[in-house]
Amino acid sequence: MALTIQSAQTIFSNTQVPSPIPATIALFDQLNVDDQLAYLWYAYTEMGKTITPAAPGVARLQLAESLLTQIKQMSREEQTKVMRDLASRADTPISRSYGFFSVNTKLAFWFELGELMKQGIIAPIPVGYQMSPGVKFVLEATQKLDPGQQITVLRNTVVDMGFDTSDLGPSSYPKAATEPAFQRTTPVISSVKIDGITEPAVLGYIEAMNADKFDDAIALFTTDGALQPPFQKPIVGREAITKYMREEAQGLNMMPQQGICEVQPDGSKQLKVTGVVQTPWFGVTVGMNISWRFLINPDGKIFFVAIDMLASPQELMNLRRV
Ligand code: EQ3
């Protein structure tokens, strides 16, 4: 029977338990715009007492430079309006430019705005803002998450901001800027060992990703292969996966720990691997508990891999189907 992405998505699905991350984002989505901006400010500054992101490199900030310069020259009221427009995804020139940024450039843009807010150059939250019970509620829900989940909530809310022009067709958006490289904070782990796993495609995938060798990683996929990032739809085909990896997978430190492999009657293999991933934004200070669910075709190529954020550290040991 031919492998399909739809059926691949369901492998090991009964080991997936609901994650508190989308639940927290759903609470955030219900807040009004000022409450959303205030929530992000409080969540970010509170988190900053224990973990702080690494400053983005000069090359990355240059991509956001023109927007940041425009915002710095505005009055406080105008600055607040820009932030409201971004959060409410209004169709404005600044929101459109932001919508074009890659995930890491969006994060760098807000990182810099946050620094300017701390310095008092930009108003941190709307003048006279009083924290609402809704904000308190979402902050309390956030505090119950582990640090890896907290930074994922922050990241996902920031990524969803701005006006998305992709629905307007290719002619409406400028050519994307070249993605600057992320400096690796940890030495490359060259020989990968995963308890219970000997599958060359899986070991090779982790080894290549840990060295940012995306062409080597992509060569392990079938031409119609797919990669499904956390809380997203599958990205299909080698070209699309390579583009995604160059933008979003640079500098990641992947530390898979254990896994299981089940051979199917048609010779394909289903594998589930659990472990920890670190992002260059927070280096070794924050680990995210994740799983990789691989479907390897009978020729040993990756047909599908889904990356899921685990609901709790206990899920690291949840490898059985029943
Ligand atoms: C200024 C302030 C605070 C207030 C204002 O009102 C509003 C905003 C938005 C503010 C600023 C907020 C800021 C600066 C937030 C910054 C957040 C950051 C830097 C978050 C970074 C998070 C990174 C994460 C969660 C990365 C996760 C990566 C994973 C799970 C990678 C997985 C992958 C694996 C393992 C693969 O095998 C394939 C690739 C893939 C990437 C999917």
CATH number at residue 131: 1.10.2090.10
CA-nearest residue, atom 39 of ligand 1: 249
271 CB within 6 A, ligand 1: no
Residues facing 276 on adjacent strands? 255, 289
**Mean pLDDT across the stretch 258-274?**
97
User: What token pair was written down for 65?
Assistant: 């430079």
**Mean pLDDT across the stretch 167-186?**
68
pLDDT per position as a tens digit, 17-31: 899 999 999 999 999
> Is 168 a member of any domain?
no
> Is 190 a member of any domain?
yes
CA-nearest residue, atom 20 of ligand 1: 155
Per-residue pLDDT, 69: 96
Where a domain ends, among 160, 190, 217?
160
Is the pLDDT at 179 greater than 90? The verdict is: no
- Give me the domain span that covers residue 66: 31-160
Is the pLDDT at 147 greater than 70? The verdict is: yes
Q: How many angstroms does the Cα of residue 211 sit away from the middle of ligand 1?
A: 20
- Claim to verify: residue 9 and residue 37 sit in the same structural domain: no
- Claim to verify: residue 43 and residue 150 sit in the same structural domain: yes
Q: How confident is the model at residue 181 (pLDDT cuts 50, 70, 90)?
A: confident
User: Strand 253-263 and strand 235-236: pairing?
Assistant: unpaired
Percentage of the chain with pLDDT > 90? 82
pLDDT per position as a tens digit, 206-259: 999 999 999 999 999 999 999 999 999 999 999 999 999 999 999 999 999 999
- Claim to verify: residue 188 and residue 313 sit in the same structural domain: yes
> Is 26 a member of any domain?
no
pTM value surpassing 0.90:
yes
How does DSSP classify residue 166? G
Q: Give the residue among 256, 281, 277, 293 at the shortest CA–CA distance from 159.
A: 281
CA-nearest residue, atom 42 of ligand 1: 229
What's the Cα-to-Cα distance from 105 to each of 84, 233, 247, rounded to whole Å? Answer: 19, 22, 9
111 CB within 6 A, ligand 1: yes
Choose which residue among 41, 104, 257 to substitute to test ligand 1 binding: the one with the highest number of ligand atoms within 8 A of its C-beta.
41
Q: How confident is the model at residue 272 (pLDDT cuts 50, 70, 90)?
A: very high
248 CB within 6 A, ligand 1: yes
CATH number of the domain that 288 lies in?
Answer: 3.10.450.50
- Claim to verify: residue 197 and residue 297 sit in the same structural domain: yes
Per-residue pLDDT, 128: 74
- Claim to verify: residue 185 and residue 313 sit in the same structural domain: yes
209 CB within 6 A, ligand 1: yes
Is the pLDDT at 77 greater than 80? The verdict is: yes
- Claim to verify: residue 217 and residue 147 sit in the same structural domain: no
Question: Which amino acid appears at position 306 of this protein?
Answer: A
> Is 174 a member of any domain?
no
> Is 310 a member of any domain?
yes
Ordered DSSP codes for 82-149 = HHHHHHTT---HHHHHHHHS-HHHHHHHHHHHHHHHHTTSS-SS-TT----HHHHHHHHHHHTS-HHH
Q: What is the mean pLDDT of the chain?
A: 92
**Mean pLDDT across the stretch 176-184?**
77
Is the pLDDT at 169 greater than 70? The verdict is: no
Where a domain ends, among 160, 192, 218?
160
- Claim to verify: residue 156 and residue 263 sit in the same structural domain: no
Is the pLDDT at 171 greater than 60? The verdict is: no
- Claim to verify: residue 15 and residue 35 sit in the same structural domain: no
> Is 175 a member of any domain?
no
Choose which residue among 95, 118, 145, 158 to substitute to test ligand 1 binding: the one with the highest number of ligand atoms within 8 A of its C-beta.
158
Question: Lowest mean pLDDT: which of 86-90, 155-159, 169-173?
Answer: 169-173
> Is 170 a member of any domain?
no
Domain count, the chain: 2
71 CB within 6 A, ligand 1: no
* Between 110 and 165, the higher pLDDT residue: 110
Q: Give the residue among 31, 40, 44, 45 at the shortest CA–CA distance from 132.
A: 31
pLDDT per position as a tens digit, 122-139: 987 766 778 999 999 999
Q: How confident is the model at residue 12 (pLDDT cuts 50, 70, 90)?
A: very high
Q: 287 and 228 in contact (C-beta within 8 Å)?
A: no
Q: Give the residue among 143, 148, 153 at the shortest CA–CA distance from 316.
A: 148
> Is 25 a member of any domain?
no
Per-residue pLDDT, 155: 97
- Claim to verify: residue 126 and residue 195 sit in the same structural domain: no
- Claim to verify: residue 72 and residue 113 sit in the same structural domain: yes
Question: Lowest mean pLDDT: which of 169-178, 182-191, 276-285?
Answer: 169-178
- Claim to verify: residue 194 and residue 289 sit in the same structural domain: yes
- Claim to verify: residue 221 and residue 156 sit in the same structural domain: no
